[in-house]
Amino acid sequence: MADIHRTHYASQLGENTIDQQVKVAGWVEDIRDIGKLVFVTVRDVTGAMQLVVTGNAAQSAKETPRQSAVVASGTVQKGKAKDFAVEIKVSEYNVLTPAVNPLPIDPTGRVESSLDKRLDCRPLDLRNPKVSAIFKLRSAGLHAVRAALREQGFIEVNTPKIIGSASEGGANLFGFDYFKKKGFLAQSPQLYKEQLTLGLDRVFEIGPYFRAENSHTVRHLSEFISVDIEAAFVDYTDVMYVLETVIRAVALEFEKHKEYAQAPVSQLSIPDKISKLTYEQCLEQLAAEGENIKFGDDLSDSSLRKLGEIHKGFYFITDWPTDLKPFYIHEKLDNPKVSESFDLQFGYLELASGGRRQHDPTKLKARLQSQGLNPSGFSEHLKAFDWGMPPHSGWGLGFDRLMMVMTGAQNVRDVVLYPRDSNRLTP
């Protein structure tokens, strides 16, 4: 077995490495046999490189199935092909793991495959640099979110994903047998993050959440990643500001990663300030478009699409009717029919929602009851409210949806490695 340790990635080969002995590793993308010489294009995670193989190794190079894993050693020389400034004149060439032929999809992207077929072979799909660029950007985006929140004093936490009662009310819960009890998959970290403000003041969590969504849309998954924050002694305008800083941090991080230019990064302009529109202003704008919605009705998909035509980028919809919001949302002090709540939109698409929370246990119990929920089912949560619960606010941001918007993807499944929906439980 050949030594598998490389000295260089493709991106490290350049004029400055000419005449150096190098060892590279990757997957065979193309083979051109021109008689005495065989040109092999090998791709690693950083890019493509060209091998020039002659002599004894030429036969093996010629016969290598496309996408096999190989290592090769040789000397760097000036390239003759226009695509490669340098190439490697190979002295040793080893096929480590041959790939099958034919492959289920063409990972070079020259032959297009449907998203479904690509998802069925996701690891192979990632050899397409346009696809891997999305996930490199996603990683950079997560890094930016963490940095922005830590900088503002938020402590990263991990709360359970196996829970004993609903966090967002009863709908869309996945339940299962948990050692003879009923267990559920967390829909959000809502109750935990609120409780944690008691001792940690400002917390955030980035984690997977689960919703039994039977809606077949380009924006719903049954498992999605959410960025959640919760902060003590602040109101909803304060946490909207935090959300703005997070969106801007991700956008700035994307700008730094021009090397991922293969990814279809959308040309977003991120305003310094994200505009705010109240729910009632939305109703007025919709009425002007001929769509009459009465106060208290939710904004349907078609209404949101109309609003999205007027407001193409990021904007907040604030001050929703209290009855439309979950039990934990705080009403406005001067008008209890309206709540201190917001959604962050990108056009028609909801990216985040949040607000100030009810911290008065008596009012919280009444809200649970008025929404048809039994306060005794929330006793574990409610007890924390007797221990000096601070007024607090927070939000949850759908990270997959944010990545969809930032990369210009048309389907959330494009930016999720192994999406889960009602039709897809594998791979």
Residue with tokens 């340098």: 86
Using CA atoms, how far residue 44 sits from 30, 40, 346, in Å, is 13, 13, 35
The structure tokens listed for 383 are 């007890």
Please report whether residue 184 would count as binding ligand AMO according to CB under 6 A.
no
Nearer to ligand AMO, 224 or 320 (CB): 224
Closest CA to 30 of 46, 50, 47: 50
What's the CA gap between 97 and 224, in Å, rounded? 34
Please report whether residue 303 would count as binding ligand AMO according to CB under 6 A.
no
Residue with tokens 């490389």: 6
Q: How far is the CB of 228 from ligand AMO (least distance, A)?
A: 6
Residue selected from 26, 74, 107, 354 as contacting ligand AMO according to rule CB under 6 A: 354
Please report whether residue 407 would count as binding ligand AMO according to CB under 6 A.
no
Please report whether residue 282 would count as binding ligand AMO according to CB under 6 A.
no
Q: How far is the CB of 174 from ligand AMO (least distance, A)?
A: 12
What's the CA gap between 66 and 62, in Å, rounded? 10
- Dihedral pair phi/psi, residue 205, rounded to 5°: -145, 140
Using CA atoms, how far residue 410 sits from 312, 343, 405, in Å, is 15, 21, 8
What's the CA gap between 285 and 300, in Å, rounded? 14
Nearer to ligand AMO, 66 or 357 (CB): 357
Nearer to ligand AMO, 216 or 273 (CB): 216
Q: How far is the CB of 349 from ligand AMO (least distance, A)?
A: 8
Nearer to ligand AMO, 49 or 349 (CB): 349
Residue selected from 87, 125, 319, 400 as contacting ligand AMO according to rule CB under 6 A: 400
Question: Of 24-32, 258-266, 362-370, 391-399, which part binds ligand AMO (CB under 6 A)?
Answer: 391-399
Residue selected from 146, 350, 366, 424 as contacting ligand AMO according to rule CB under 6 A: 350
Nearer to ligand AMO, 260 or 395 (CB): 395
Nearer to ligand AMO, 6 or 420 (CB): 420
Residue selected from 87, 125, 168, 244 as contacting ligand AMO according to rule CB under 6 A: 168
Q: How far is the CB of 387 from ligand AMO (least distance, A)?
A: 21
Please report whether residue 319 would count as binding ligand AMO according to CB under 6 A.
no
Instruction: Show contacts with ligand AMO in window 223-242 (CB under 6 A).
Output: 224, 226, 228
Please report whether residue 403 would count as binding ligand AMO according to CB under 6 A.
no
> 162 with 279: CB under 8 angstroms?
no
Please report whether residue 33 would count as binding ligand AMO according to CB under 6 A.
no
What's the CA gap between 293 and 206, in Å, rounded? 36
Please report whether residue 345 would count as binding ligand AMO according to CB under 6 A.
no
Instruction: Show contacts with ligand AMO in window 89-108 (CB under 6 A).
Output: none
- Dihedral pair phi/psi, residue 344, rounded to 5°: -95, 125
Using CA atoms, how far residue 381 sits from 175, 197, 324, 354, 387, in Å, is 19, 13, 22, 19, 11
One-character DSSP codes across 210-225: E------SSS--SEEE
Please report whether residue 318 would count as binding ligand AMO according to CB under 6 A.
no
One-character DSSP codes across 62-123: HTPPTT-EEEEEEEEEE--STT-SEEEEEEEEEEEEPPPSS-SS-TTSSS---HHHHHHTHH
Nearer to ligand AMO, 188 or 195 (CB): 188
Please report whether residue 339 would count as binding ligand AMO according to CB under 6 A.
no
> 80 with 88: CB under 8 angstroms?
no
Bridge-partner residues for 49, per DSSP? 42
Please report whether residue 73 would count as binding ligand AMO according to CB under 6 A.
no
The residue sitting closest to ligand AMO, measured at its beta carbon, is: 398
Nearer to ligand AMO, 55 or 408 (CB): 408
Residue selected from 196, 394, 409, 413 as contacting ligand AMO according to rule CB under 6 A: 394
> 373 with 170: CB under 8 angstroms?
yes
Instruction: Show contacts with ligand AMO in window 186-225 (CB under 6 A).
Output: 188, 190, 211, 213, 220-221, 224
User: How many residues bind to ligand AMO according to rule CB under 6 A?
Assistant: 21
Q: Which residues contact 306 (CB under 8 A, 6 or more apart)?
A: 286, 289, 291
- Contacts with ligand AMO by CB under 6 A lie at 168, 188, 190, 211, 213, 220-221, 224, 226, 228, 350-354, 394-396, 398, 400-401
